Structure 1
Amino acid sequence: MGIRRDNTSASSNWLVERAVSRPIALCMITSAIVVFGVVSLMRLPIELLPEIDRPTITVRTELQGAAPEEVEERVARRLEKALSVVSGLRRISSLSRIGTCDVILEFSWGQDLSEAIQDIREKLEQANLPDRAESPSILRYDPRLDPVLLFGLHGPADMGRLRVIAEEEVERRLETIPGVAAVRVRGGLEEEILVEVSEEKVRNRGLSIELISRRLAEENFDQASGLLEDGDVDYILRVRNEVVDSEEILSIPLIREGQSVVRLGDVAEVRRSFQEDRVITRIDGRPAVFVEVLKEGDANIISVSKSVRERVFGTPEEQKRFELWQAKRAGKSVPRENNWGIQFGESGGGGVRRPDHVASWLPPGTTIDLLSDQADFISGSIRDLRQTALLGGLLAMLVLYLFLGKLSTTLVVAIAIPCSVVVTFVPLYISDTTLNIMSLGGLALGIGLLVDSSIVVLESIFRKQKELGDPFRGAVEGAAEVAGAVTASTLTTVAVFFPIVFVEGLAGQVFGDMAVAVVGSLLAALMVSLTLVPMLAARAPGLQEDHLIETIEKIPPPAKSKKSMKINLFSLMGPILWIHNRTELLLLGIGSFVMSFLQLILLIALKITFALAKRSRHLAGGPLSLAARIIGRTETIYLRMITASLNHRAVVLLVAGAAILVAGLLIPRLGSELIPRVARGEIEVQITLPVGTPLQVTDERVKRLEQAIGQLPGVHRVVSRIGRDPADVEASSQGEHTARIQLVLSVDGVDAASAENSLVEQIIPFGDDLPDALLKVQRPRLFSLRAPLEIEIRGPDDSELERIERETADRLSAIGLVTEVQTTTAPGSPEYHFRPDRERLARLGISTREISDALQSKNVGSVATRLRRQQRQIDVRVRLREQDRSSIGKILATGVAVGPSGRSIPLEELLEGWTIEEGPSEILRIGRQRAKVVSAQLAGFDLGRVAEVIEADLNSSIDLPDDVVVEVVGQKKEMERSLRSLIGALALAVFLVYVVMASQFESLLQPLVILLSIPLSVVGVVPMLWITRTPISVMTSIGMIVLAGIVVNNAIVLLDQVNRLRSDGMKMNEALIEGGRKRLRPILMTTLTTVLALIPVTGVLSRLPGAGHLSMLVGSGEGSEIRAPLALTVIGGLMASTLLTLLVVPVFASLVDIKARPQEQTQ
């Protein structure tokens, strides 16, 4: 049952021999692939996140002025009925608020949302919505479409003027930048023209507001009326009657009275104003307008950020020119030649041209600030990964140098690493994978793994060269000997990534990019180890001082003839020769001189290099000698241990089994979470006041909180949004009673996570100063959109749901494992309920709908038309004067036009009465029935443990009716789905590993022995996660899948050697001992290099004391939270599995008595 070596060995020998014998061809092929890799890298889009196709679609419908109950009855229920049959739908819910209904459709992961949207459009046509309901909008949230840059514009101008500046100066200039998809302006005041109607004058003339709105729309008209062919010319017929200013509005005729015409100016006043505030925006307490920049889907976020920044603030040269331009404009003297090397004239503008960037065209005193830029975090993550990869590679090289003791041999692997990494970018580009925090994390993990193949091959070559004394023959035979084992070990690691296609939920979305990066780097490393490494290793012995110096000195020096002396002389007389057009002689002279100079420089460089190498070898003699003694001592100890283990097999297996059992029992104590939180130095404070609180009241309350928070240490900037921008499609739960304060922290030289935690603890007590408000402090999450813990309560009886909701919230607060407990039942909105007099309305021919429309037009008014002003559209709003609508009594006293005569009847005469009631602020429905939700944040405990405790407590403490369902959802449900899917993927990965090994070894028994390494790795994973307080998450689960393909490599290399020794006639125990001795060194080298390369990935080095001063070397740890659990899992599992594999696997192999295959015994 030894491995078959005929076909495999022949193909491996052929590949290695061709690589070693044709170095120039191999170098050219390698160079070409590396060039392709560099080109691919330059073209790869850069994103913050992978392409997460979150299977959620929102259908939003506006029903202007409708109460939540009316929205539920007339919109939500009808949409739910029509959309519940959409193909692939997993969950449907709706939220009915004042004038708005959101129906949220959740699909299974992997669902084609384009087809789902088409299906939704078809079903919406069947929904019987009210006539006054606007057409439903289909919204699809994609976190990659969040603004990549956020600017703040502030200054002495009023908010209306700032809005105009933002739209006409900033937005217009930024939209033309390549890669920018859209620019959105938030905040400020939008201009509008108010037509304020006098109720008394309208009533006296028998007019109505509806008539005025209609006449405005009719008179502001611009429409094409077809084509007219006149001779050889086609003319477009166009009727244009556009209103251009307020004077024209006043002159619009309304009706005719006798011989005179009643014009709009006779019954109304027209003035320029601003729309009522719906959102207030501030930066550090100063009123401001925000400008959001969105990028195109395939654009490079770093390039877009750089281009936008330069367009806004200018290049350094443009900034200097702007300073000079300002100085000239202020009448200050500017020297013709200044320190910046820019020359200007003296008179007038003197050639001082105004720069074209946005900041240079802003009015005096107006400033634009960059508030946030996603590219900063991405650039930091890329920079950190580059530094950790470099440090990991250096640590791996140090291990190799200590084990091999030869610098030339170590440099072979040092060359293989960058080649493998650069080649990896080719499959990333081909598979449309972006550079994001997950694919970059895969590259960082790959760097820790890709040296394994090269180390095993190089160690075998190193040993063969010593045995044979021939570097070329040793390179070929050494590489060919382990080619099969290296290929098998690489394929087992690659195989574990194939089950990704079966992983559901968020894990499957984020794991894909990492899998492509790791698989690409490993396959590249395999080819490099079987081609480039043997070729370089065959020539490594020639990289000695004497050999190289002799080779360089063999280059013939320039001839000492008179002609050559003339050429060298002429080469120093370039200008003179140029004047005399001696171009040919000039080129010959320069070439000869340069070649002589390069030869001299190369000889000097080699002398210096080898002098330093000798010095370093002298200095490293002590460490190398110590390392050699340690390695020798380790081999001696290992031989004793493996001999003892083979003599006490039962004890070894019992200890190993007990260790696995204990580790398995400790897994539930580790806790669990969905995705680790990434500290980005940002905190968001959400304030919710009672529904119905006016915007100005909310603003005054928030101002005081802003001032208090802004004085806290570590707060760099305070960015506030009070209210809700109507254009903000994601903020459906916000209104005039809500506010968001975004805090940007100063984290230079400080751990971002610690800074965030400290600030959160200081902010939470501020909620006591807002007794009737809910204050929620949260940190941005990368992947999940839901609270960590949500408890859904569904049932038909609203009062019963509210009771259970209150009891649930009380139990959560009493348990003490969560904070910020919130319920969906909020104080209702105050409402005026009017009861129309149906009989009188019927006699007068008036509908209830007309009464409702009259109330709306008299109170808030309506937009009758829009005026065009340059590139902007300005609303013309018609409504009553302030004094005619200042109270409900005055509004009800206004008249409604009745009948053909147009006589006016007061509204109050058409009503039976009215009362003040409190209606629900929102109505939530889940699964087509009313629901309540209690949400909470975790108080430092893991999600899995908290959910388990809460479920048990609620089941025992709350009495539930038969028709009420209580379910714990939120991130907990997504976590369960993802982890369950990952466990299945792990099982499938183990099966694929077995398939690969069985095919390679042509045995069904040997792979079972090797698979023992996987459970042995758990012995190291659990203590590592326990010590570092890392809970089980999607990332640790992915780490276990990766481990399944890595830890078997050591056992494959070990048993491959044992099989070779058995085929040569050695007895089983002797083969196990000798195989372990021969493979101890490469196994230790691969393990140590992988572990040391992964240590920087965990970010632990950046948190050591004094690491801030070494950030250029150890990295800043930016984004390491997302990578650390995976790296820690691999490190712990690999260390334990390696130690136990060297002892337990031989014991288990001896028990099943692995024998050589019959065909090899007969050879």
Structure 2
Amino acid sequence: MKITEISIKRPSIIIVLFIILTLGGLFSYTRLGYELVPKFEINVITVQTVYPGASPAEVESSVTKKIEDAISSLESIKKVESTSLEGVSIVMITLNNGADVNFLLTDAQRKINAVINDLPDDVKTPSLSKFSLDDVAIMSLAVTSNLSEKELYDLLDNKIQPVFARINGVAKVDLIGGEEREIQISVDPKKIEGYGLTISQVQQIVAASNLDFPTGNVSTRDNRTTIRLSGKVTSIEELRNLPITTPAGVQIYLRDIADVRDGIKEIEKVARLDRQNTILLQVFKQSDANAVAVSEAVKKTIAVHDKNGKVISGVEKDYAAQNIKILVANDSSEFTLNAADNVIHDLMIAIALVGFIMLFFLQSLRNAAITMVAIPLSLIATFIGLLLMGYTLNLMSLLGLSLVVGILVDDAIVVIENIHRHMEMGKNKVRAAFDGASEIGFTVTAITLVIVVVFLPIAMSTGLVANILAQFCVTVIISTLLSLLVSFTVVPWLYSRFGKLEHLSKTSFFGRIIHGFESGLNSFTHWVAGLLVWALRTWKTKVATLFLAIGLLFASFILIAKGYIGSDFFPSIDRKEFFIQLELDKDASLEKTNLLTQKAEAYIKSKPDVKEIITTVGQSSDGMASTTGSRYKSEIHLILDKETFEGNPQVYSAKLKREWENKLIGA
């Protein structure tokens, strides 16, 4: 083959090529992001509409049906599901496979905008969203200080939350819990009736007095000055002294007819960390951001410590006077990073084991080393392809790298064995390297292409499963093709320079180990051959063998049918943590939900294996977190102690659920 001839005669070209590929692969590795699983899209669009105070029946007739009618003409619809709750309408549109979700999201927005005027006046603008894994918070931060809850919430909302939102890669930061400040005006109905005023008139006067608007400009020969009327209310006292003219022409003040006080909004969500009230900051990353990098940036924004552990910069330093302390309650990127590190560790073990096996079967340290060169050269260069394809280091791509380790040496083994055969024929190592590689070029290419054609259709297909497996398949294809290139270039070149015939002596230490292994392998192959001879000896043994094979086949099907072997879309991941969601009757108040959740928390904390619990009352992670109709829901994120707990979290959660059935009445 021409490429093999070039590699042997002009190796500088091949050396430069693989130096470039190796350096490019190392650079690409540093640019790749970390994810737990590959990004995949579920073709679902959700339309969420808030109608404050409306009953489920009113929501269905006034909102849900009109939105369903509006989106009914949308293309590629598979099915439409709607849910009408108190104060909120949720319409879920499932699209066909292959549908352009982004285009249909825009089209659905246009169709809904056309019927907005037909909705009741109090209805909030419908919000459309598509399903994404990035809709789940990657971090939860618990904030404490010496301020009151109202002052702390105001500080977080106006000063600290925007600091985290400006971090590169952060999509949004949500505030959960706390007491939000609200200026409350309680009007005395008897007093306004005595003055001949109505509630709507008072409301219009207050609204009109709290406006800023431009009034024009004044121009002279030298300059031009813009004039604006600043009418915003700046203090409670100013609002109390707001003048109001009655229909009789008498001027009174707002304090004469109403009680104005600095209060708090009605609490809709409560957050706790280990049963202690707190305010949670939930950090969401952008779809193309690296979760690990975002997590590190958030931690640096919280506080940067010197060698002595003293805070030298960050939010905690800037607000030290308020004793602001921010605790990372939960960080999903830690599990992602640990999972990736574990797979990389397993990958290193696999490479070592492959090298160990090559040493025993090739019976030459030199040949095993030449063969093993194919693994790092192919794996490192594969990162270039992953970066160009926009992939990340996740369980699928890393699994592909682990699986392909054994495949990468296949081509090199075949090439080296044939070169070795030619050297045994009396050829010099240069001639043997060229003839040996050229002779089996078609065979080795066919071996590689068989692997490629298995994974290529999956990588090119569409659908949910194909989206998840695409990175796995492409990783295998790229690394396998690179191993083919290595086997026809680097392997013949190395053998033409360093290869030689080796005969192991049975007297040497290494020779005794290799010959002992070969003796054991021969004994095993003779036992298998004897088993085959027995199976084919007579017609009785043939029938017995056939029935045994059929019996094992049917037994395997029975194991699946009887449920001994289950099925799941994703294998369960043992993170030593799980979520507990409580749901009460739809008319339950936030206080009742909170009380029942506190009972659950007290029971959980009595368990010795529980390390930490993060509680949110008034929302749950079922896609309705921001709706007003979730005051009857709560969620407890239970984190087990990874050092002491050795059981199965699924079994633990099932037992916990059974224990609660008779204790948490009403949930």
TM-score (norm 2): 0.90
- After the TM superposition, which residues 15-414 of structure 1 pair with which residues of structure 2 at under 5 Å, given as runs? 15-127=3-115, 128-168=118-158, 170-225=160-215, 230-231=220-221, 233=223, 235-256=225-246, 260-317=250-307, 320-322=309-311, 355-358=313-316, 361-363=319-321, 366-414=324-372
- Secondary structure of the corresponding residue to residue 76 of structure 1: helix
- Alignment counterpart, residue 519 of structure 2, candidates 611, 626, 629: 629
- Alignment counterpart, residue 666 of structure 1, candidates 556, 574, 577: 556
CA distance in structure 2 between the partners assigned to 1:728 and 1:631 by the alignment: 58
Partner of residue 655, structure 2: 761
Give the C-alpha shift of residue 124 in structure 1: 1.4
- Secondary structure of the corresponding residue to residue 182 of structure 1: strand
Q: Is the 8 A contact 2:63 2:89 kept in 1?
A: yes
Q: Is the 8 A contact 1:169 1:358 kept in 2?
A: no
Partner of residue 458, structure 1: 416
Partner of residue 575, structure 2: 680
Give the C-alpha shift of residue 101 in structure 1: 0.8
CA distance in structure 2 between the partners assigned to 1:472 and 1:229 by the alignment: 92
CA distance in structure 2 between the partners assigned to 1:696 and 1:491 by the alignment: 65
Partner of residue 972, structure 1: none
Q: Is the 8 A contact 1:284 1:717 kept in 2?
A: yes
CA distance in structure 1 between the partners assigned to 2:26 and 2:240 by the alignment: 67
Give the C-alpha shift of residue 449 in structure 1: 2.2
Task: Give the direction of change, closer, same or farther, for the CA distance of 1:257–1:675 in structure 2 (3 Å limit).
Answer: closer
Partner of residue 722, structure 1: 617
Give the C-alpha shift of residue 285 in structure 1: 0.9
- Alignment counterpart, residue 519 of structure 1, candidates 477, 483, 486: 477
Task: Give the direction of change, closer, same or farther, for the CA distance of 1:509–1:648 in structure 2 (3 Å limit).
Answer: farther
Task: Give the direction of change, closer, same or farther, for the CA distance of 1:413–1:103 in structure 2 (3 Å limit).
Answer: same
Partner of residue 488, structure 1: 446
CA distance in structure 1 between the partners assigned to 2:101 and 2:26 by the alignment: 34
The letter for the 1-side match of 2:432 is G
Give the C-alpha shift of residue 194 in structure 1: 0.7
CA distance in structure 2 between the partners assigned to 1:728 and 1:639 by the alignment: 60
CA distance in structure 1 between the partners assigned to 2:51 and 2:362 by the alignment: 77
Give the C-alpha shift of residue 168 in structure 1: 4.5
Task: Give the direction of change, closer, same or farther, for the CA distance of 1:755–1:94 in structure 2 (3 Å limit).
Answer: closer
CA distance in structure 2 between the partners assigned to 1:112 and 1:253 by the alignment: 57
Could you tell me which runs of 5 or more consecutive residues in structure 1 were left unpaired when the two chains were aligned.
Answer: 1-12, 323-353, 545-612, 774-1163
Q: Is the 8 A contact 1:314 1:357 kept in 2?
A: no
- The superposition leaves residues 518-565 of structure 1 with CA deviations (integer Å, 9 ceiling, x where unpaired) of 111111111112211222223333799xxxxxxxxxxxxxxxxxxxxx
Task: Give the direction of change, closer, same or farther, for the CA distance of 1:654–1:277 in structure 2 (3 Å limit).
Answer: same
Give the C-alpha shift of residue 363 in structure 1: 4.7
Give the C-alpha shift of residue 754 in structure 1: 1.7
Task: Give the aligned CA root-mean-square deviation in angstroms.
Answer: 3.2
- After the TM superposition, which residues 1049-1068 of structure 1 pair with which residues of structure 2 at under 5 Å, given as runs? none
Give the C-alpha shift of residue 255 in structure 1: 1.9
- Secondary structure of the corresponding residue to residue 47 of structure 2: strand
CA distance in structure 1 between the partners assigned to 2:584 and 2:157 by the alignment: 32
Do residues 423 (structure 1) and 381 (structure 2) align?
Answer: yes
- After the TM superposition, which residues 735-814 of structure 1 pair with which residues of structure 2 at under 5 Å, given as runs? 735-748=630-643, 751=646, 754-773=648-667
CA distance in structure 2 between the partners assigned to 1:81 and 1:638 by the alignment: 70
Give the C-alpha shift of residue 634 in structure 1: 5.4
Could you tell me which runs of 5 or more consecutive residues in structure 2 were left unpaired when the two chains were aligned.
Answer: none
Task: Give the direction of change, closer, same or farther, for the CA distance of 1:228–1:666 in structure 2 (3 Å limit).
Answer: farther
CA distance in structure 1 between the partners assigned to 2:493 and 2:606 by the alignment: 64
Aligned pairs, how many? 658
Partner of residue 537, structure 1: 495
Task: Give the direction of change, closer, same or farther, for the CA distance of 1:733–1:470 in structure 2 (3 Å limit).
Answer: farther
Task: Give the direction of change, closer, same or farther, for the CA distance of 1:656–1:672 in structure 2 (3 Å limit).
Answer: farther
- Secondary structure of the corresponding residue to residue 638 of structure 2: strand
CA distance in structure 2 between the partners assigned to 1:251 and 1:723 by the alignment: 38
- After the TM superposition, which residues 637-676 of structure 1 pair with which residues of structure 2 at under 5 Å, given as runs? 659=549, 662-663=552-553, 666-667=556-557, 668-669=560-561, 670-676=565-571
CA distance in structure 2 between the partners assigned to 1:203 and 1:107 by the alignment: 57
Task: Give the direction of change, closer, same or farther, for the CA distance of 1:131–1:157 in structure 2 (3 Å limit).
Answer: closer
Task: Give the direction of change, closer, same or farther, for the CA distance of 1:455–1:358 in structure 2 (3 Å limit).
Answer: farther
The letter for the 2-side match of 1:397 is G
- The superposition leaves residues 455-485 of structure 1 with CA deviations (integer Å, 9 ceiling, x where unpaired) of 2222222333333352222222222233222
Q: Is the 8 A contact 1:321 1:355 kept in 2?
A: no
CA distance in structure 1 between the partners assigned to 2:618 and 2:215 by the alignment: 44
Give the C-alpha shift of residue 719 in structure 1: 0.7
CA distance in structure 2 between the partners assigned to 1:746 and 1:359 by the alignment: 31
CA distance in structure 1 between the partners assigned to 2:176 and 2:322 by the alignment: 22
- Secondary structure of the corresponding residue to residue 427 of structure 1: helix
Moved more, 630-639 or 696-705: 630-639
Give the C-alpha shift of residue 489 in structure 1: 1.6
Q: Is the 8 A contact 1:149 1:374 kept in 2?
A: yes
CA distance in structure 1 between the partners assigned to 2:432 and 2:227 by the alignment: 90
The letter for the 2-side match of 1:109 is N
- The superposition leaves residues 765-824 of structure 1 with CA deviations (integer Å, 9 ceiling, x where unpaired) of 023112222xxxxxxxxxxxxxxxxxxxxxxxxxxxxxxxxxxxxxxxxxxxxxxxxxxx
Task: Give the direction of change, closer, same or farther, for the CA distance of 1:362–1:735 in structure 2 (3 Å limit).
Answer: farther
The letter for the 2-side match of 1:686 is Q
CA distance in structure 1 between the partners assigned to 2:80 and 2:344 by the alignment: 44
CA distance in structure 1 between the partners assigned to 2:657 and 2:50 by the alignment: 36
Q: Is the 8 A contact 1:681 1:756 kept in 2?
A: no
Task: Give the direction of change, closer, same or farther, for the CA distance of 1:272–1:411 in structure 2 (3 Å limit).
Answer: same
CA distance in structure 2 between the partners assigned to 1:363 and 1:140 by the alignment: 42
Task: Give the direction of change, closer, same or farther, for the CA distance of 1:145–1:42 in structure 2 (3 Å limit).
Answer: farther
Give the C-alpha shift of residue 185 in structure 1: 1.8
- Secondary structure of the corresponding residue to residue 683 of structure 1: strand
The letter for the 2-side match of 1:534 is P
Q: Is the 8 A contact 1:279 1:725 kept in 2?
A: no
Q: Is the 8 A contact 1:58 1:140 kept in 2?
A: yes
Q: Which has the higher helix share?
A: 1
CA distance in structure 2 between the partners assigned to 1:620 and 1:404 by the alignment: 13
CA distance in structure 2 between the partners assigned to 1:357 and 1:366 by the alignment: 8
Give the C-alpha shift of residue 231 in structure 1: 4.1
- The superposition leaves residues 1082-1117 of structure 1 with CA deviations (integer Å, 9 ceiling, x where unpaired) of xxxxxxxxxxxxxxxxxxxxxxxxxxxxxxxxxxxx
- Alignment counterpart, residue 394 of structure 2, candidates 416, 436, 439: 436
The letter for the 2-side match of 1:161 is E
Task: Give the direction of change, closer, same or farther, for the CA distance of 1:384–1:64 in structure 2 (3 Å limit).
Answer: same
CA distance in structure 2 between the partners assigned to 1:486 and 1:63 by the alignment: 67
Give the C-alpha shift of residue 722 in structure 1: 1.0
TM-score (norm 1): 0.53
CA distance in structure 2 between the partners assigned to 1:450 and 1:734 by the alignment: 56
CA distance in structure 1 between the partners assigned to 2:361 and 2:539 by the alignment: 31
Give the C-alpha shift of residue 357 in structure 1: 4.7
Q: Is the 8 A contact 2:270 2:617 kept in 1?
A: yes
- Secondary structure of the corresponding residue to residue 212 of structure 2: strand
- The superposition leaves residues 954-1012 of structure 1 with CA deviations (integer Å, 9 ceiling, x where unpaired) of xxxxxxxxxxxxxxxxxxxxxxxxxxxxxxxxxxxxxxxxxxxxxxxxxxxxxxxxxxx
Partner of residue 1133, structure 1: none
CA distance in structure 2 between the partners assigned to 1:714 and 1:477 by the alignment: 66
Q: Is the 8 A contact 2:578 2:649 kept in 1?
A: no
- After the TM superposition, which residues 611-1010 of structure 1 pair with which residues of structure 2 at under 5 Å, given as runs? 619-633=509-523, 659=549, 662-663=552-553, 666-667=556-557, 668-669=560-561, 670-724=565-619, 730=625, 732=627, 735-748=630-643, 751=646, 754-773=648-667
CA distance in structure 2 between the partners assigned to 1:760 and 1:539 by the alignment: 64
Give the C-alpha shift of residue 739 in structure 1: 1.2
Moved more, 219-228 or 84-93: 219-228
